[in-house]
A = this chain, B = another copy of it.
């Protein structure tokens, strides 16, 4: 019997078709779980639904090729025709931004209670291979793209009624129209021939735990080196989530990445250790001080 656990793995499935390897992924983007229409425009929904799937391809150091879009539209929406037009405008702009991901088809359904978008994407693997969560080795440097907590900060500011703050645009873009790290993912090969990689869509802390578990290593992280805006506190940067950045472990830090720690052989069970203060993330996702 298939178990739910069988379906948990890397960001994409690696599939062999003919003589080549491809990346194949499916992600849903659901009203009230992933977005609300009071601050997501139809354009934003289209953009982000595709962007989170493109990020799955970046997370394995590949390049996106083509996608299918399934849109399930709440029946009580007014002016559905215009809604769908704006939605596809967001999809198309996002597709163009990332080297022209080809939108090759889709499906439009009605739903009763929630808008939902499902996107399936096919990418090609890099000629040097695929980077998995399990690919880190002791001694590897832990590093990240971009900056953390911006997406969650937007929601926090939104709750506090501060959406017109001076940093609104940065936080807003991170949440509504994230930029998947496709080009950054390619640069890792310049000085490396192997490594681990994934995206941080479920939060940096969760991603650190994932690579620690899959690679069976301790990840020692200097929290002072985690890139974040001065208005964003550490816990938001670690646990806020929905930052479509990359977390990788390599022999050499790639040019678009920031060093935040290193990998070492675990004493007993693999874990994430926050230095300098020695806080520790246990792999069962609980959080404890020492």
Contacts and interface: CB of A to CB of B under 8 A. Distances in A.
A129 interface: no
Contacts of A70: 26-28, 118
A116 interface: yes
A273 B68 CA distance: 35
A256 interface: no
A66 to B, nearest CB: 6
A78 interface: no
Given A18-B19, A24-B68, A118-B70, A108 B7 contact: yes
A9 interface: yes
Interface residues of A, number: 54
B32 A113 contact: yes
A113 B116 contact: no
B88 A26 contact: no
A54 interface: no
A104 interface: yes
A105 B30 contact: no
* Number of identical protomers: 2
B1 A89 contact: yes
A69 interface: yes
A138 interface: no
A109 interface: yes
Interface in A56-106: 66, 68-70, 72, 81, 84-85, 88-89, 91-92, 103-106
A13 B32 CA distance: 30
Nearest to A28: B70
Interface in A26-68: 26-28, 30-34, 66, 68
A26 B118 CA distance: 8
Nearest to A66: B15
A17 interface: yes
A110 B114 CA distance: 12
B4 A116 contact: no
A34 B192 CA distance: 49
Interface of A: 1-4, 6-7, 9, 12-13, 15, 17-20, 22, 24-28, 30-34, 66, 68-70, 72, 81, 84-85, 88-89, 91-92, 103-114, 116, 118-120, 122
16 contacts: A1-B89, A2-B92, A3-B85, A7-B106, A15-B104, A18-B19, A24-B104, A24-B120, A26-B69, A26-B70, A26-B118, A27-B107, A30-B72, A33-B111, A34-B109, A111-B114
